[in-house]
Amino acid sequence: MTTYLIKGARILGGEPTDLLIRDGVVAEMGSGLSAAGARVVDADGLVALPGLVDLHTHLREPGREDAETVETGSRAAALGGYTAVCAMANTSPVADTAGVVEQVWRLGREAGLVDVQPIGAVTVGLNGEQLAELGAMADSAARVRIFSDDGFCVADPRLMRRALEYVKAFDGVIAQHAEEPRLTVGAQMHEGEVAARLGMTGWPAVAEESIIARDVLLAEHVGARLHVCHVSTAGSVGILRWAKERGIRVTAEVTPHHLLLTDERATSYDPVYKVNPPLRTAADVAALRAALVEGVVDIVATDHAPHAVEDKECEWAYARPGMLGLETALSIVIDTALDQLGWDGIAQRMSRTPARIAGLTEHGLDPAVGVPANFTLVDPAARWTVEPADLASRSRNTPYAETTLPARVVATFLRGEPTVLDGKATK
């Protein structure tokens, strides 16, 4: 195993520090370190963060390897500064058995670019009717702790209650895609002024808020952990604040795109902006940013949703919802919230807290002697222009094409080995 000497990294934006990386851990820290035979990495001006952890990634394998594979998605993640991602269950076949989650977990190990932690489905085939074998997935080699039907809502309150009861036994968590399906039949975009102008069927805020309100009460009743995926409305923030003040065990995520983009984008009719939940209003964006700073929304998760060209470059109504996120997430968060969060706040929301929610004990740890060397080095002064063709993802559906963004990941280390060096993936 190569030894690495990182020279002058600013840990969480602090004073320049040298780090000696040996045998998968941070072996020494200080100034003026030297080590014979070590490979030197010049980190002058670079900020070191604990490796980012994404709680919400769609990798598309098995089933849609034309859109993304565990390997291509892992590479995109490493380039985005991630050392761990949680892979959503809406693959084909669905990740609803020990066999499928073990397969995804193994593919992640083989790719070796990030730790891929599979999420298990709550219901068989995401059908919303019958609980999947949550215990078997939890006991499998993949040790699943998060369960989600993401893409679909667990709409039946009785089933949601049973799922919460079941995972409570092993301190698991149900990650809910909050969308009351009866309120979003035929929905194409956020229900509001812009949808009215465009004549598109709307996805009302109350479809999200009514499920979150119900589910925090169910989580309180059961005493189990609930995680709310991709919170998108100001009203949801109010419900989450209320729930947290009551001591309900709920965490919530916001996506980079919901922190930046609004429903005005739909006026282009470009399906790259079609996503579920939809882009909302400027007032929602402002409320979500404030909630992330306040901590009512705990974390940023990408909802990285790669789609093949034929599923995205078509008429809006036929396009699949979702957008790429892994390679641009950190830049978007820096762009929208670094001023208020600082580097420590970004580490909290993109690494430490998601690692804790997912139970990934080797991740989300600030660089310190003896700690697993899972970290990323970021150039905060760099600017880069997003070229879809240059992305590592197998898909091209980024909403930031030709946009210039701040900050670039220069290197990422996973258990002491670089997965990214000089801004390029090492494998």
Q: Is 325 in the site for ligand DOR (CB under 6 A)?
A: no
Q: What is the DSSP letter of 121?
A: P
Q: Which tokens is 424 given?
A: 């390029």
Q: Under a CB-based contact definition with an 8 Å cutoff, are residues 111 and 77 in contact?
A: no
- Which of 150, 208, 215, 253 is in the footprint of ligand DOR by CB under 6 A? 150
- For ligand DOR, the closer CB: 192 or 322: 322
Task: Give the C-alpha separation, 380 to 46, whole Å.
Answer: 7
Q: Under a CB-based contact definition with an 8 Å cutoff, are residues 363 and 352 in contact?
A: no
- For ligand DOR, the closer CB: 147 or 343: 147
Stretch that binds ligand DOR, among 248-256, 314-322, 338-346, 371-379 (CB under 6 A): 314-322
Q: Is 322 in the site for ligand DOR (CB under 6 A)?
A: yes
- Which of 236, 276, 374, 376 is in the footprint of ligand DOR by CB under 6 A? 276
Residue nearest to Zn ion (CB): 177
Q: Is the dihedral of CA 112, 226, 304, 314 positive or negative?
A: positive
Task: Give the C-alpha separation, 83 to 107, whole Å.
Answer: 15
Q: Which tokens is 142 given?
A: 């993949």
Q: Is 79 in the site for ligand DOR (CB under 6 A)?
A: no
Q: Which does 58 bind (CB under 5 to 8 A by kind): ligand DOR, Zn ion, none?
A: ligand DOR
Q: Which does 321 bind (CB under 5 to 8 A by kind): ligand DOR, Zn ion, none?
A: ligand DOR
Is position 303 annotated as part of the catalytic site? yes
Q: Is 305 in the site for ligand DOR (CB under 6 A)?
A: yes
- The answer to whether 322 is annotated as binding is yes
Task: Give the C-alpha separation, 119 to 104, whole Å.
Answer: 10
- Give whole-number Cα distances, 317 to 116, 212, 213, 353, 415, in Å: 33, 27, 29, 36, 44
Q: Which does 297 bind (CB under 5 to 8 A by kind): ligand DOR, Zn ion, none?
A: none
Q: Which residue out of 303, 335, 344, 422 is catalytically annotated?
A: 303
Q: Under a CB-based contact definition with an 8 Å cutoff, are residues 48 and 57 in contact?
A: no
- The answer to whether 258 is annotated as binding is no
Which residues in the 193-222 window bind ligand DOR by CB under 6 A?
Answer: none
Which residues in the 80-99 window bind ligand DOR by CB under 6 A?
Answer: 90
Q: Which does 322 bind (CB under 5 to 8 A by kind): Zn ion, ligand DOR, none?
A: ligand DOR
E strands present in 31-145: 39-42, 47-50, 52-57, 82-87, 115-118
Q: Under a CB-based contact definition with an 8 Å cutoff, are residues 150 and 229 in contact?
A: yes
E strands present in 337-385: 375-385
Q: Which residues bind Zn ion (CB under 5 A)?
A: 150, 177, 229
Residues that bind ligand DOR (CB under 6 A): 58, 90, 150-151, 177, 275-276, 305, 320-322
Instruction: Give the residue numbers annotated as catalytic, written as ranges.
Output: 303
- Residues annotated in the binding site for substrate, as ranges? 58-60, 90, 276, 307, 321-322
